[in-house]
């Protein structure tokens, strides 16, 4: 590994193997994001059922998070116990997420079921015509 201060060409050659991993991770992240965008646009068009589409988004987001943390932040190459001290609280966090979303869902159903007769249907929104007086 020469340390002569030649120009960029030499340095790029020296750095090549690990910059390859970096760029590979970039392409993976970009690919996943583009895929998510395409799914979102297609979903607008074809009105697929919400649950599988949203589940796909969540899974892809977690995959992206994994790559950012493991490769860009280098956690994947650290000592296993360090990885654990970061990962374990986050797994408990997943429990937190599921619990509160379930809570919100149950809340919504309770409002409907436990106060019969008092449920007031939300009012219809006034249809706003496009571009009415709003500048740009």
Partner 1 sequence: MDTAVTAKKKWWSGGHSPFNVSYGKLMMWYFLLSDAFTFGALLISYGTIRFMSTSWPNPNDVFRSFPGLGDRHVPMGFVSLMTFILIMSSVTMVLAVHAGHQRRQKDVVKWMVWTIIGGIAFLSCQAWEWHHLWSEHAWWGKNPFPNADGTVATTNFTNFFFTITGFHGLHVTSGVVLNIVILSNVLKGTYENRGHYEMVEKVGLYWHFVDLVWVFVFTCFYLL
Cβ within 8 Å of residue 2, ≥6 positions away:
10, 14
Does 35 engage in binding with partner 1 (CB under 8 A)?
no
CA angle (126, 132, 136) in 5-degree steps: 125
Does 15 engage in binding with partner 1 (CB under 8 A)?
yes
Cβ within 8 Å of residue 33, ≥6 positions away:
64
User: If residue 31 lies in a helix (H) or strand (E), which one and from where to where?
Assistant: helix 8-46
Residue from 44, 51, 114, 115 binding partner 1 (CB under 8 A):
44
Does 79 engage in binding with partner 1 (CB under 8 A)?
yes
How many residues lie near partner 1 (CB under 8 A)? 60
Residue from 2, 4, 18, 129 binding partner 1 (CB under 8 A):
18
Give Dmax (Cα) for the chain: 83
- Following CA atoms 87, 89, 94, 97 in sequence, which dihedral angle do they give, to the nearest 10 degrees? -150
**Residue ranges that bind partner 1, judged by CB under 8 A:** 11, 14-15, 18-19, 22-23, 25-26, 29-30, 33, 36-37, 40-41, 44, 54, 57-58, 61, 64-65, 68-69, 71-75, 78-79, 81-82, 85-86, 89-90, 93, 96-97, 100-101, 103-105, 107-108, 111, 121-125, 128, 130-131, 134-136
């Amino acid at each position: 590994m020469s340390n002569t201060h030649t120009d960029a060409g030499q340095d790029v050659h020296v750095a090549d193997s690990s910059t390859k991993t970096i760029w590979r991770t970039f392409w993976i992240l970009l690919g996943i994001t583009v895929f998510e965008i395409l799914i979102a646009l297609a979903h607008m068009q074809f009105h697929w059922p919400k649950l599988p589409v949203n589940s796909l988004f969540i899974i892809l987001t977690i995959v992206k998070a994994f790559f950012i943390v493991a490769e860009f932040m280098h956690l994947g190459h650290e000592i296993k116990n360090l990885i654990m001290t970061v990962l374990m609280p986050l797994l408990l966090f997943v429990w937190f997420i599921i619990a509160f979303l379930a809570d919100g869902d149950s809340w919504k159903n309770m409002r409907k079921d436990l106060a019969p007769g008092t449920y007031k249907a939300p009012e219809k929104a006034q249809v706003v015509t496009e571009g009415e007086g709003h500048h740009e």
